[in-house]
Amino acid sequence: MRTILITGPGGSGRTTVAAATALAAARAGTRTLVLGGDRDDTLGAALGVSTGPAPTLVEPNLTAWRPDPAQGFRDDLAALQDRASSVLDLLGAARLDPEELTPLPGAEELALLRALRDAALAEAHDLLVVDLPPAPRALALLALPEELRRYLRRLLPPERQAARALRPVLGRLAGVPLPAEGLYEAAARWDLELAAAEAVVADRNTVVRLVAEPGPAGADAVRAATLGLALRGLRPDLLIANRVLPEDAPADSWLAGPVAQQRKTLEEWQGAYDVRTVAHLGRDPRGADDLAALDAPGVSPAASPVEWPVTDRLAGDGVLVWHIPLPGAIRDDLDLVRRGDELVVAAGPFRRIVPLPSALRRCTVDGAALREGELSVRFAPDPQLWPRTR
C-alpha cells in the first residue's frame, strides 16, 4: 500500500490538499482512505461530508476516517487499570470511571499513530492519505515511535526477560521487589505496536508531502520542515505551492506586491524541490467540485531512501566519515554529543539520538564539518578497540 503523509505550516491548506489528493486518486480508480487527525472536522468540511470515528464512504473508492482520541484514551486507561488491579486494590486506590476521563495532551497524536498503523495492517485500501498536524507537531509525531521504543529499551531491556523464571528468587536475595512479569509483557506489546507504526513511516512506499503558501513565511516554514525531516532520514517527494495567485494581475493592483513575492519564492523552491502549484480559487474550497478544480498532484513514484553512508578514508586520512544530509542546517545551530554507542545530533530546534554503525562504535569522534547541506562526522579508530593488523 502507498502512503502519503501531508503536512505544512498551520493555515497553509494542508487539509484541503490532502482531501483533494485523495479525491483525485479515488476518481482515478484507486481504493483510497484519507485519514484526518484534527479535533475539529476540517477534513469533513473540505470533503463536504461529516467524518468521525467510524470510516465514512465519501464516494466510490474514497473513504474518510477521523479517529476519536478520547475513546482511545479511555480504552487504554481502562485496560491499564485492569492489568494493575491487584496493585490498585493493595493500595486501596479507587478506579477511574470512563465517563470522568479527559484525554491528556498528546492523545490525539497517539490516536493518529494507531490509526495509521491499523490502516496499513488492514490492507483494505491501495492508497492511504494522511492529513498530519501542522509541521512542528507532525515532526514530533513522526519521531514519537522511535523515541518511545528507545525509552522502553532503556527502562526495560529485553535481554533481562531471560531471568523471568529467576525473578522471585532474585527478589528475595536482593531484598527489593523486581519488575513484575506483566510489566515486561506490556513493554513487549507496546514495542510491537510502536514498531508497526515506525515501519509505516520508514517504508519505501511512504512519502512525505509539504504544503505551503509561497512567500517569506512559507519559505521559512518549508526550510525548517525540510531540516526536521532530514534529521529523521526523510525528504519530501513534492512541495505543493498552495493558493498561487494569477500572474496576470494588473501592475497597479494591490495584488502586484503579493504576486511578485510569490514569484520570488517559487523560483527559490524550484531550484531545490519538485514543486507543484495549486491555484487560488478565490474562495475556501468546499465539496468535491471545488476539490476537483484544484487539480491536486497524484501519487508519485516511490522515493529512494535517504542514505547516511560511511566512507572509508583510513588509508589516506586515518578516519572513517559518516555523511548525514541536513539541507538548510546552519553551522551555529548544530550540536553533536557522543554517548556510548549513540550520537546525539541537534540541528536548530530538532534533536535525534541515533545508534552508531558497528564500525564507528570502535572509534572516537575526530571532528565534524558542515558543507553544502551535509554534515560530515569524522571518526578515528580507538587503538584499544580497533582490530590490530599484522
Reported as type and span, the H/E element at residue 131 is strand 127-131
Q: Do 196 and 117 form a contact (C-beta atoms < 8 A)?
A: yes
* Residue bearing the bigger pLDDT, 78 or 299: 299
Cell representation of residue 185: 509483557
pLDDT digit string (tens) for 30-48?
999 999 988 889 999 999 9
Please, what's the b/e burial string for 15-53 (b: 16 or more CB within 10 A of its CB; e: otherwise)? bbbbbbbbbbbbbeebebbbbbbbeebbbbbbbbbebee
Cα angle 336, 338, 340; round to 5: 160
Cα–Cα distance for residue pair 196/117, rounded to 1 Å: 6
Grouping H, G, I as helix, E, B as strand and the rest as coil, residue 316 is: coil
What pLDDT, on a 0 to 100 scale, did the predictor assign at position 154? 80
pLDDT digit string (tens) for 325-357?
999 999 999 999 999 999 999 999 999 999 999
Cell representation of residue 113: 499513530
Task: Over range 128-133, report the average pLDDT.
Answer: 94
How is 192-224 classified by DSSP, letter by letter? HHHHHHHHHHHSTTEEEEEEE-SSHHHHHHHHH
Q: Which domains does the chain have, with CATH numbers?
A: 2-69+104-294 (3.40.50.300), 310-381 (2.60.40.790)
What pLDDT, on a 0 to 100 scale, did the predictor assign at position 78? 61
As beta bridge partners, residue 276 has 240
Cα–Cα distance for residue pair 144/152, rounded to 1 Å: 12
Confidence of residue 190 (pLDDT cuts 50, 70, 90): confident
pLDDT digit string (tens) for 201-230?
888 889 999 999 999 999 999 999 999 999
Cell representation of residue 327: 539541507
Cα–Cα distance for residue pair 48/290, rounded to 1 Å: 10
Share of residues in the chain with pLDDT > 70 (%): 82
Cα–Cα distance for residue pair 19/362, rounded to 1 Å: 49
Which amino acid would we find at residue 261? Q
Q: How many CB atoms lie within 10 A of CB 86?
A: 10
Grouping H, G, I as helix, E, B as strand and the rest as coil, residue 236 is: strand
pLDDT digit string (tens) for 87-117?
455 556 666 666 656 666 667 778 888 888 8
What pLDDT, on a 0 to 100 scale, did the predictor assign at position 170? 46
Confidence of residue 153 (pLDDT cuts 50, 70, 90): confident
Share of residues in the chain with pLDDT > 90 (%): 54
| pLDDT surpasses 50 at 178 | no
pLDDT digit string (tens) for 66-75?
988 666 655 6
Which amino acid would we find at residue 68? D
| pLDDT surpasses 80 at 174 | no
